[in-house]
């Protein structure tokens, strides 16, 4: 390892620790453990050219995990804001069409009202009732009475329809203004989430860049080992003996789609076909199977029917972490397919390799 590399690693960890704390409101992304100097930095007595130990790399691994989890949370915030923006845009378009139709209808009603006024003017300005009273023909008087009654009813209906149309237009305009305000709020939320994502990913990349090739390889092995230990602990409970559910027809299609994406890169906010984030992969897989589901992992957890993990079947979605910030699709035999994080590709992994929050079923009915 080059001279001063350990010191550089120490400094980099200190910087990303500060970024993690400051990048989000409160301490949402802060390290809940001891201070960085006690857990992430090499020993103060270590020589500047001393090799990075496994303990120090383990501290780096944990820090990277926190940074990427923070980025995952921000990604789902971004995805949620994006979904809201799509809905607001669609609603604004719908209201705009209503306003156009309403204005066309109002113009037609005004035209009819104008024609009625012109007819009265041609009659000398006298209302139909006056013309009727001046008639000398009894038969004409009786027929005229019915026409006047019909005319009065039509005029009243015309005025009523104009009033209703004007009220509808006013309501549509107010609704559209409200949607625009929500759309603008959504844009701000997206921008804020994007800054969080970029800051967390940049901090993680900065930390990884301080490592030599050999150290990055050791770090990758540590990541795999941590996942293997978690998976082994999950399997040691004997839970796999209870999971015997068979995929539904739609579930098979969703699994086929998701596994066909293996090897494609993770990209936050992506829904394919060239790249995916975790919930982009699961939502598109189920859409390909003919079942639309919520876009984000949090909404998938909130809205889809929950099932006991022992009743799990291929196609079901496993939600991870207490904040529901990650999701993978169960494909059978204790395995999921998922889009892990920036710098990784869609891959298979142990279903128990991350902390499981619960399981949801898109085609529960």
pLDDT attached to residue 227: 92
**Alpha carbon distance 200, 194 (integer Å):** 10
pLDDT tens, residue by residue, 329-355:
999 999 999 999 998 999 999 999 999
Task: Look at residue 320 and tell me if it is in a domain.
Answer: yes
Q: Which residues are catalytic?
A: 278, 326, 338
CATH code at position 249: 3.90.1720.10
Same domain, 261 and 350: yes
Same domain flag for 201 and 268: no
Average pLDDT of the segment spanning 134-153:
52
Q: Is residue 216 part of a domain?
A: no
pLDDT score for 127: 54
Report yes or no: 350 and 231 within 8 Å, Cβ to Cβ.
yes
Q: Are residues 21 and 46 in the same domain?
A: yes
Residues 246 and 355 both lie in one domain = yes
In a domain, 330, yes or no: yes
Q: What is the pLDDT of residue 29?
A: 30
Q: Which of 193, 223, 252 is the last residue of a domain?
A: 193
Q: Of residues 23 and 156, which shows the higher confidence score?
A: 156
The reply to whether 71 and 114 lie within a common domain is no
Q: How far is CA 46 from CA 39, 92, 242, 248, in A?
A: 14, 62, 50, 58
Identify whether 308 is part of a domain. Answer: yes
Residues 211 and 208: their CA atoms lie apart, in Å, by: 6
pLDDT at 95 over 80: no
Q: Which of 133, 161, 193 is the last residue of a domain?
A: 193
Average pLDDT of the residues in 170-178 = 78
Residue 187 within any structural domain of the chain: yes
Could you tell me the pLDDT band of residue 263, with boundaries at 50, 70 and 90?
A: very high
Dist. CA 209–CA 11, nearest whole Å: 12
Whether residue 342 is contained in a domain is answered as: yes
Domain count, the chain: 3
CA distance 339 to 277: 6
What is the residue whose two structure tokens read 């397919």? 337
* Residue span of the structural domain in which 261 resides: 241-361
Pull the structure tokens for residue 28. 């949402």
State residue 56's pLDDT score.
81
- 72 in the same domain as 142: no
Task: Name the pairing type of β-strands 317-320 and 335-338.
Answer: unpaired
Any domain includes 227: no
Phi, psi of 103 (to 5 degrees): -65, -40
Question: What are 72's two structure tokens?
Answer: 């995952």
Q: Residues 217-247: pLDDT tens digits?
A: 888 888 899 999 999 999 998 999 889 899 9
16 with 156, same domain: the answer is no
- Strands 335-338 and 347-350, by their bridges, are antiparallel
Query: What is the reported pLDDT for 113?
Result: 64
Could you tell me if 9 and 106 lie in one domain? no
DSSP secondary structure, 249-270, as one string: HHHHHHHHHHHHTTTPBB-TT-
Residue 352 counted as domain residue: yes
* Rounded (to 5) percent helix, strand, coil in the chain: 60, 10, 30
Confidence check: pLDDT of 132 > 50: no
- What token pair was written down for 119? 């007819």
Hey, is 328 helix, strand or coil?
strand
Sign of CA dihedral 159, 161, 164, 168: negative
Pair (71, 202) in one structural domain: yes
Residue 20 pLDDT > 70, yes or no?
no
Same domain assignment for residues 104 and 28:
no
For 348, the enclosing helix (H) or strand (E) is strand 347-350
The more confident residue out of 145 and 187 is 187
What's the whole-number average pLDDT of the chain? 77
**pLDDT score for 117:** 58
User: 174 pLDDT exceeds 50?
Assistant: yes
pLDDT band at 111 (very low <50, low <70, confident <90, very high): confident
Tell me the C-alpha to C-alpha distance, in Å, between residue 283 and each of 63, 120, 278, 355. Answer: 29, 64, 9, 21
Q: Do 73 and 87 share a domain, yes or no? A: no
Mean pLDDT (whole number) for 84-98: 80
% of residues, the chain, pLDDT over 90: 35
Residues 6+ apart with CB under 8 A from 179: 88, 91, 92, 95
Mean pLDDT of all residues in 125-130: 51
Tell whether the model's pLDDT for residue 70 goes beyond 70: yes
| One domain, residues 96 and 183 | yes
């Amino acid at each position: 390892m080059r001279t001063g590399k350990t010191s550089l690693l120490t400094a980099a960890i200190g910087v990303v620790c500060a970024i993690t704390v400051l990048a989000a409101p409160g301490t949402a992304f802060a390290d809940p453990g001891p201070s960085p100097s006690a857990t992430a930095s090499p020993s103060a007595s270590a020589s500047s050219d001393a090799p990075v130990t496994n303990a120090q790399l383990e501290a780096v691994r944990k820090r990277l995990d926190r940074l990427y989890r923070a980025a995952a949370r921000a990604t789902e915030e971004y995805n949620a804001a994006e979904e809201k923006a799509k809905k607001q845009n669609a609603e604004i378009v719908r209201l705009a069409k209503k306003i156009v139709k309403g204005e066309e209808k109002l113009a037609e009603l005004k035209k009819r009202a104008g024609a009625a006024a012109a007819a009265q003017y041609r009659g000398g300005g006298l209302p139909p009732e006056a013309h009727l009273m001046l008639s000398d023909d009894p038969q004409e008087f009786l027929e005229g009475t019915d026409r006047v009654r019909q005319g009065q009813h039509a005029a009243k209906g015309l005025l009523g329809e104009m009033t209703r149309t004007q009220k509808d237009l006013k309501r549509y305009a107010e609704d559209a203004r409200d949607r625009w305000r929500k759309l603008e709020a959504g844009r701000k939320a997206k921008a804020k989430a994007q800054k969080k994502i970029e800051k967390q990913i940049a901090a993680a990349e900065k930390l990884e860049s301080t490592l030599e090739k050999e150290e990055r390889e050791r770090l990758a092995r540590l990541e795999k080992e941590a996942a293997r230990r978690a998976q082994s602990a999950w399997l040691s409970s004997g839970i796999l003996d209870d999971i015997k559910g068979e995929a539904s027809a739609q579930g098979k299609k969703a699994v086929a789609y998701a596994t066909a994406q293996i090897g494609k890169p993770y990209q936050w906010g992506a829904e394919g076909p060239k790249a995916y984030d975790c919930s982009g992969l699961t939502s598109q897989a189920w859409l390909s199977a003919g079942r639309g589901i919520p876009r984000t992992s949090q909404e998938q957890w909130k809205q889809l029917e929950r099932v006991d993990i022992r009743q799990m079947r291929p196609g079901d979605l496993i939600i991870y972490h207490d904040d529901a910030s990650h999701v993978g699709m169960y494909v059978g035999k204790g395995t999921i397919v998922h889009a892990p994080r920036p710098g990784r590709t869609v891959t298979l992994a142990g279903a128990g390799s991350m902390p499981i929050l619960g399981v949801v079923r898109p085609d529960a009915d």
